[in-house]
Amino acid sequence: MASNGADRDPEIDRLLEAKARELTKKMKYSGVVELSKENFDDFLKTFRVAVVDFWATWCAPCFMLEPIIKRLALEMPDVGFGRLNTEEEPEIAAKYYVMSLPTVIIFKDGEPVDQVVGVVPKKILQDRIKAYLED
């Protein structure tokens, strides 16, 4: 029997609308997102767990890490992955005490919870991220 909508529960409608807004926002940040001061805070708020790769154009190891980050972004769709060019956004890098490149900071609920400095194998980075997805 088809419903005309009159017997719909308003609470279910509210939850469905909220979920649709959340999914739409996450779609805006699919893949690896180039971050700046304009979108950095919003990006962190969008994902329970977010990973930010701090890099610079002159940093050869940063370019070695880039394909690893891109692969993890494909394999871990519930995690937000972003890259922040420290030359363009030195204030954000300073806020998180990024002194060496590349530096990957894992955020949970908008707060930094782990940091990896230098190029590491994909498995190591993946395991560090997964540790924050489990609770």
- What confidence score (pLDDT) does residue 30 get? 67
DSSP conformational letter for 33: E
pTM over 0.95: no
Eight-class DSSP state of 87: T
Catalytic one among 56, 59, 76, 120?
59
- 85 carries an active-site annotation: no
Active-site annotation holder among 33, 49, 50, 62: 62
Residue 44: active-site member: no
What domains are there in the chain, each with its CATH number? Answer: 32-130 (3.40.30.10)
Among 52, 32, 65, residue whose Cα is nearest residue 98: 52
Q: Is 22 helix (H, G, I), strand (E, B) or coil?
A: helix
Instruction: Give whole-number Cα distances, 22 to 39, 61, 81, 86, 95, in Å.
Output: 16, 34, 16, 29, 28
115 contacts 62 by C-beta, under 8 angstroms: no
Mean pLDDT to the nearest integer, 23-52: 85
Which pLDDT score, from 0 to 100, does residue 8 have?
80
Amino acid 86: pLDDT: 98
Q: What is the pLDDT of residues 46-105, one digit of tens each?
A: 999 999 999 999 999 999 999 999 999 999 989 999 999 999 999 999 999 999 999 999
What is the rounded average pLDDT of the residues 23-30? 58
